Amino acid sequence: MRIEVDFQPKISRWFVFRFLWIVPVIVPIVLFSVWFSILSFIHLFYMLVLGERSESIFKKQIEYIQFVLRWQLYFKYFTNERPDVLPWKL
């Protein structure tokens, strides 16, 4: 997996209030983290019993990592583009 973040010299005027986005985003992140933990536990037994990895479970785990990483990049001021609040499209 490769992550590229472009340097963005311009910032918005609301830059100072970026931390307020943590309030509406914390619920999906916590729920998605619980789901990720359960999925990882299931995947462990799947690998122990069948001796191979499940591609669909692996893709869901990657989706979680990308979702959380996008928000971390935003909150740590590496990017000005605010990610989606939910990890999936409605």
Q: Which helix (H) or strand (E) holds 65?
A: helix 55-75
Distance separating alpha carbons of residues 62 and 71, to the nearest angstrom: 14
Give the structural domain span for 51. 33-78
Read off the pLDDT of residues 58-85 as tens digits, 9 standing for 90 and up.
888 888 888 888 877 777 766 666 676 6
The number of distinct structural domains making up the chain is 1
Examine residue 1 and state whether it is found in any structural domain, yes or no: no
User: Looking at the domain assignment, is residue 69 inside a domain?
Assistant: yes
CA distances to 4, 10, 18, 23 from 79, in Å: 11, 10, 11, 19
Q: Is the pTM above the cut of 0.75?
A: no
DSSP, collapsed to helix, strand or coil, labels residue 21 as: helix
Q: How confident is the model at residue 48 (pLDDT cuts 50, 70, 90)?
A: very high
7 within a domain of the structure (yes/no): no
Amino acid at 35: W
Residue 18 is assigned to a structural domain of this protein: no
37 belongs to a structural domain: yes
